[in-house]
Chains A and B, each alone.
Chain A
Amino acid sequence: MCVLLGFAALSAALAFAAEGPSLAAGKLELKSAGVLAFGPPGILFVGDTAAASLIAIDTGDRAAKKSNGAFELKAVNEKIAAVLGTSADQIQIADVVVNPVSQNVYLSVSRGKGASAVALILKTDASGKITELGLDNVKHARVSLPDAPAAEAKDRRGGSLRMETITDIGYVDGRVFVAGLSNEEFASSLRSVPYPFKAADKGAGIEIFHGAHGRFETNAPVRTFVPYKVANTPHLLAAYTCTPLVSIPLSELKPGNKVKGKTIAELGNRNRPLDMIVYSKGGQDFILMANSSRGVMKLPTANLDKYEAIVAQTEKQGVPYETIEALKGVQQLDRYGANAALLLQVEGGSVDLRTVALP
């Protein structure tokens, strides 16, 4: 779930050129609905891990709306369960994103938890009404991720248990970046898929090496990432599951390229990054990062290029951060207009969607 800040204008300009040709109307079957990201206006990208593919859906949701501030939907899991005619324990919310144009909120949800689970995309807004994004006849396009084995293709030894879980996606400037992690060999990938999708060009893997960290980080999964300009140059800021925050110049993220990322912060043990956004306040840019143990962390982004690459350390280094103590249990995070963030928060057994003012 990545919202652009530095590139917003550029993406918007490209968006209209990007719409259309690759999106054909028809029935869309989701095998799973995982991570979500908005791209060009109204275009929602969905990571379908079970089908080893990336899907672009034209939601048609392009009516601009200014943020009307607060929005709260308490016990959203119970409400979704009620609407889908089942109990809350049968509902899983994989991701939540805000359409930056309309401020409508989209959720990837599975009804049921086993192999027979049904994947769907739900939509809600400040009124709290939950509706389904109809997929029976929707403009969409699908691209298979390369090297992903076909779902049905068992090899002759019956061993097609390999899957690659998509851990995050983000759209920047005509490309969708897809981070994934295999359930067999210890290999993570970051792929660049051009949008509109072209059948012949499925996007290729990019290898990212980090200073002195060798294969450990090269293959560690990128948990969440966000595009951002460092010293006016587009970068991806990627948070790895094992704590470092790494900046990667976008210009080097080309298929087949071997890229050296720069570790700009080590955020300390027990910190498992879950989601990130970038925003501006008082003329300064900040990263807001939800993580499993510390609540939400706020990092200033000024002078990111000035930090020395971290190559070895035994304590927190690099970009300083503060912890927003008031925000606990935040699982998902997205921008909601210019001044607010939307949170999916799990507190005391209740799963709530709510907006908060950007800190």
Chain B
Amino acid sequence: MRVLATITLLVLPAVAADVIVRRDGPVFRVAGLGTTEPAGGWSAVFQVHVGPQDLPPVMGTYVTEGSEVVFKPRFPVSDTVDCRVVAGGTTIVFPGKASSTEPSAHVRRVFPTAWKIPANQLKFYAEFSAPMEKGQAWERIRLKNSVGETVDLAFLEIEQELWDREGKRLTLLFDPGRIKRGVLPREQTGAALRAGETYTLIIDQEYRDAEGVPMKQGYFKVFQVEPEDRAFIDPAKWEVRIPRAGTRDSLAIAFGESIDGPLAQRLISVEGVAGAVELGAFEALWRFVPEKPWEAKEYKILVDTALEDLAGNRVGRPFDVDVFERITVRTDRRVVTLPFRVPRK
């Protein structure tokens, strides 16, 4: 931006009557207005505008430096917009430069990575390669059925959008009203996903990144829908592969079904052991590689009961329980412990 300002300065040293306007980095300098502030303030004789004529001027502060009046915008004027300086009856335009950034953003992956998912699938996570612009999800993301019709209101369209802090991962919740049995939206329009059908999740190439540039390519995920999963997660049914002492072999858990990937990464750990988690087999497999070799002793796998499978069923508690009394279990976080012993070599 500094470079641009310097060039502008060389190309457009604007001289009209005795008024000289300069764009100097983020600030605008005008000579020839005198040093006595008019009764209406400097803005009465010196304003910076972007956009059409009838819009209010850019917000900022004025100071005098020597013979110049200096306007410092509250925010640096975007270098992609035309900017008009109106000073002492003269108008000078500093043209914005075209955005020349090459598209580079793309969708890295979507959780679940499985291509068979239950009809009561609760959410997708779309991971982008770069921070994305907020506020366009419900225009740029669609779900189509096998004959190419868009599934109406498949996702819960919350205008705040559920992003992570970096703006790289978007959570798409299926409208829970269309998953829960016996409630109005589902009775009226049915479930968003029907078992036996094939669907395509489409993220448009026009999805803009945080720089306003569309993606390099669009994203498609084709998946097949299986019957609803209304069984809770039962860690007692998991298969645990125990590593050997003295190695950094992975500790592995086969869940027997796909689990919510981000939750599996965050909510399953080995007590007191640092290491890295990887997921495999469409998130049906959790692998933990310790930083230091395993010792021949007892360890504990800690499973936060907030862990969910693809349909939002939790540890010991299905997603969808119909009787009030049945769910009076507190949703306080609890941890299920799975002890295991690493044998001697």
A→B interface (CB under 8 Å):
34, 49-50, 78-79, 81-90, 92, 94, 110-118, 129-132, 151, 155-157, 159-163, 165-167, 181-187, 207, 209, 211-221, 223, 241-244, 258, 260, 266, 268-270, 272, 274, 292, 312-316, 331
Contact = CB atoms under 8 A, between A and B. Distances in A.
Contacts of B274: 156
A83 B57 contact: yes
Given A85-B59, A159-B266, A215-B317, 8 more contacts: A92-B135, A114-B209, A163-B163, A165-B160, A182-B162, A186-B176, A214-B321, A216-B180
* Residue from B51, B81, B321 whose CB has the most chain A CB atoms within 10 Å: B51
Given A89-B212, A163-B164, A184 B50 contact: no
Interface of B: 48-52, 55-59, 73-78, 80-81, 83, 122-123, 131-135, 153, 156-167, 169, 171, 173, 175-177, 179-180, 182-185, 187-189, 208-212, 260, 262-263, 265-266, 269, 274-277, 306, 308, 312, 317, 319-324, 326-328, 330-331
Nearest to B127: A161
Given A111-B75, A214-B180, A183 B188 contact: no
B55 A132 contact: no
Given A183-B163, A270-B153, A82 B56 contact: yes
Nearest to A316: B184
**SS class of chain A's interface: helix, strand, loop or mixed?**
loop
Nearest to B266: A159
23 contacts: A50-B165, A81-B50, A83-B58, A86-B50, A114-B210, A115-B165, A117-B210, A132-B74, A157-B269, A159-B265, A159-B266, A161-B164, A161-B262, A183-B163, A212-B322, A216-B176, A221-B158, A242-B156, A258-B330, A260-B324, A266-B184, A270-B185, A313-B187
Contacts of B165: 50, 115, 151, 160-161, 163
B157 A184 contact: no
A316 B73 CA distance: 53
B158 to A, nearest CB: 7
Contacts of A215: 317, 319-321, 327
A214 B158 contact: no
Contacts of A260: 324
A2 B312 CA distance: 31
Contacts of B276: 157
Contacts of B74: 84-85, 132
A78 B55 contact: yes
B268 to A, nearest CB: 10
B308 A185 contact: yes
A38 B57 CA distance: 29
A186 B175 CA distance: 12
B176 A220 contact: yes
A268 B184 contact: yes
B107 to A, nearest CB: 16
Contacts of A212: 182, 322-324
